[in-house]
Amino acid sequence: MTLVVGLIFLLTAVFLILPVVTTVLMAFDSRDYLGPFPPQGLSLQWFDKLWDEQYLWAGFYTSLIVASAATLISSIVGTLAAVAMSRMTGAARDVLSSLFLSPLIVPGVIIGFALLMLFSALGIGSPLTRLIAGHLVITIPYSIRMALIGLLGVKSSLREAALSLGANEIQAFLTINFPLAKSSIAAGAVFAFAFSLDDLAISLFLSDFNTFTLPVALVGLLRSSFDLTIAAAAVGLMGVTLILLLVLDRTVGLDRVVGLSVDKA
Amino acid sequence: MNVLELKRVSKSYGSFLAVDDVSLTIEKGAILSLLGPSGCGKTTTLRMIAGFTAPNSGSVIINGSDVGHLKPYDRNVGLVFQDYALFPHMTVFQNVAYGMKYRGIAASEIPARVARMLGLVRLGSMEGRYPRELSGGQQQRVALARALATDPQVVLLDEPLSALDAKLRLELRLELKEILRSVEATTIVVTHDQEEALSLGDEVVVMRDGRIAQRGSPTAIYNDPADRFVAEFVGRSNWFNAGNWRDAANGFVNYESVAGISICGQAKPNTSGKVDLCIRPENIDVLAAGEPATMDENTMPGTVVDVAPLGADVHIVIDIDHGPRVLAIQKSGSQRTSFGVGQSVRIGFSPADVLVF
């Protein structure tokens, strides 16, 4: 029995990790064409090429701006919505919670197309504004969800204790509820940033020739010149993610960000 | 002088009347226990005093002024929550100091004042600890120190000892009482635990279905309960459903019990119809089958079902022949404890100890 479980565990791990390992190894391939795995020799040529790839850098900058703006706005809006929802009764909260999560079950392509139509009708022409607004549709649900988990984890007696000790509603929120829920809110921000950075479907519709996100640029590059610059870009992105996770671990604690201990705070 | 007064306070949730026309006063420095089963309205009463729940009618008066419309933070009511509600992200010092800045205590005064409060609850060395690093009893004392730190006009304790294990509960109960006395805090203790209520309170208010069933000293509540509910809720009791009385003599009458034996008890004024007779277990003597009873005692034959020696007391359960099952509590070491299961015995109790409802 334990053997079977162990085997399943191992297979799952291999299945999850193998593509990453393959990508990392291929990024250091010394051949100047896309050859079969494994690489015969190692070099940094694809990173050199990546460094000079202005098209990808432009996409990266746009992605950073869009993801940062979307994360900031959705964290604020999401937290405020979650505060209101955390004070509702169970039934009303469940309905609203499902409603706010509903954008996640609509395919990104449909959201992208619908937004493109809407923005044209409204006359919102700035692609940056359109991208940020579009990404908010998929980041706000995560922010609300995570903030709600965090806020619901704070016992109502704590707030009442603060009120009985003389703090008003706002002071009680700022000194008690918010600090105790902040790791969950931070986790929501990480999710929002990651999903914004990762989004292709919506961004494809809302990008134009001058303003496009990194995933859009990668797909464009894949079409025009199919080489291992993309693998190098992937390694670069992993590096950025790793740094982000390290920073988060040092500031709020990684176990809290992934939500294993929201109530402990 | 009354520090707190509830005047005909009522609160309903939909069609459910949680608190029904309750009036209550408490004097400065007194400890009042609010005792009742869950759903009796005691917690709602506490929340109305604290300001978390607004009464539908009636007024809450603290030190002469009606605070019914004031928010919790505009009253000065100290609260100790059942789960202590210590702020987990703050140290013991920060927890105790929390209310001080909002209650207008100068920042320079706070450290000395926190130290004094922690000294009061004997946690002087724990300033820098976080709540999770404290035992349950220590957390309870921090919660008390925090509630007392702002010199509240009224202190409310919500089931203060229910989260602690039995031995610690006894220790802390005494300590809690000493601390509350020493700072002369006007206190209301809400509890469903009758021992807690009787031991902490100078006075006890028993609540039932949103109303006050009885108010009195702990002794009066136990020895002279107002009705069957109070008698059953406070302490242990044995019950006989009796018929009408007959043969009155010397203030005592004979009630016809179901077992076909009459029980002599105090005459109840204006008795009509059936009455219930209650005898506290410690007032029942267990007699061997042949042992003579005192002349005027009620006696009934029965069979021993269980004998449980519980330290100072021995609990003996007896099935009365053709009658109910009764519990008798005898002091350990008395001769009246050496009975075996299945043995035929008699129980005896004085007519003066029979409570009639």
Please report, as a single letter, which amino acid is at residue B343. Answer: Q
A48-69: pLDDT as tens digits: 888 888 888 899 999 999 999 9
Mean pLDDT of B50-67: 93
Neighbours of B196 (CB within 10 A): 22
Q: Which residue has the higher pLDDT, A210 or B188?
A: B188
Give the distance from residue A139's alpha carbon to the nearest chain B alpha carbon, in angstroms. Answer: 28
B203-250: pLDDT as tens digits: 999 999 999 999 999 999 999 999 899 999 998 999 988 777 766 666
**Burial group, residue A242, by CB count within 10 angstroms (0-12, 13-18, 19+):** exposed
| DSSP 3-state of B78 | strand
- Read off the pLDDT band of A33 (50, 70, 90): confident
State residue B85's pLDDT score: 94
Mean pLDDT of B92-110: 93
- Please, what is the average pLDDT of chain B? 89
State residue B230's pLDDT score: 93
Q: In chain B, which ranges are E strands?
A: 2-13, 16-27, 31-35, 57-62, 65-66, 77-80, 154-158, 187-191, 203-208, 211-216, 238-249, 252-257, 262-266, 275-279, 285-288, 298-310, 313-320, 325-331, 344-349, 355-356
Q: CA A257 to CA A254: how far, in whole Å? A: 5
Where are the domains positioned within chain A?
Answer: 54-226
B148 close to B100: Cβ distance less than 8 angstroms: no
User: Tokens 């002349």 belong to which residue?
Assistant: B295
Q: CA B305 to CA A251: how far, in whole Å? A: 65
Q: CA B295 to CA A189: how far, in whole Å? A: 84
Residue A30 CA: distances (Å) to CA of A33, A45, A47:
9, 7, 11
A230 close to A221: Cβ distance less than 8 angstroms: yes
Closest in B76, B87, B150 to A158, CB measured: B87
Q: Tell me which residues of chain B have a C-beta less than 8 Å from any C-beta of chain A.
A: 50-52, 71-73, 76-79, 81-83, 85-89, 98-99, 102-103, 146-147, 150
A171 in reach of chain B (CB within 8 A): yes
Contact between chains at B85 and A168 (C-beta distance less than 8 A): no
State residue A161's pLDDT score: 95
Q: CA A186 to CA A172: how far, in whole Å? A: 20
Give the distance from residue A264's alpha carbon to the nearest chain B alpha carbon, in angstroms. Answer: 8
State residue B350's pLDDT score: 87
Q: For B238-356, CATH number?
A: 2.40.50.140
**Burial group, residue A40, by CB count within 10 angstroms (0-12, 13-18, 19+):** exposed
Residue B303 CA: distances (Å) to CA of B214, B252, B290, B344:
36, 28, 14, 5
Q: CA B236 to CA B310: how far, in whole Å? A: 15
**Torsion angles phi and psi, residue B257, rounded to 5:** -90, 165
Closest in A157, A167, A180 to B102, CB measured: A167
Taken in order B229, B230, B234, B238, the sign of the CA dihedral is negative
Lowest mean pLDDT among A225-229, A254-258, B13-17, B194-198: A254-258
Q: For A54-226, CATH number?
A: 1.10.3720.10
Mean pLDDT of B149-178: 89
State residue A186's pLDDT score: 87
B92 close to B128: Cβ distance less than 8 angstroms: yes
Neighbours of B336 (CB within 10 A): 19
Q: Which residue has the higher pLDDT, A133 or A247?
A: A133
pTM assigned to the model: 0.80
Count of residues in chain A: 265
B88 close to B132: Cβ distance less than 8 angstroms: yes
Q: CA B79 to CA B148: how far, in whole Å? A: 9
State residue A226's pLDDT score: 74
DSSP A151-184: HHTS-HHHHHHHHHTT--HHHHIIIIIHHHHHHH
| DSSP 3-state of B148 | helix
Q: For B2-233, CATH number?
A: 3.40.50.300
Nearest to B161 by CA among B181, B141, B180, B133: B141
State residue A256's pLDDT score: 57
Contact between chains at B72 and A160 (C-beta distance less than 8 A): yes
- Read off the pLDDT band of A263 (50, 70, 90): very low
Where are the domains positioned within chain B?
Answer: 2-233, 238-356
A36 in reach of chain B (CB within 8 A): no
Nearest CA in chain A to B145: A165
The secondary structure of residue A40, as a DSSP letter, is: S
Neighbours of A239 (CB within 10 A): 10
User: What are the tokens at A7?
Assistant: 């085997």
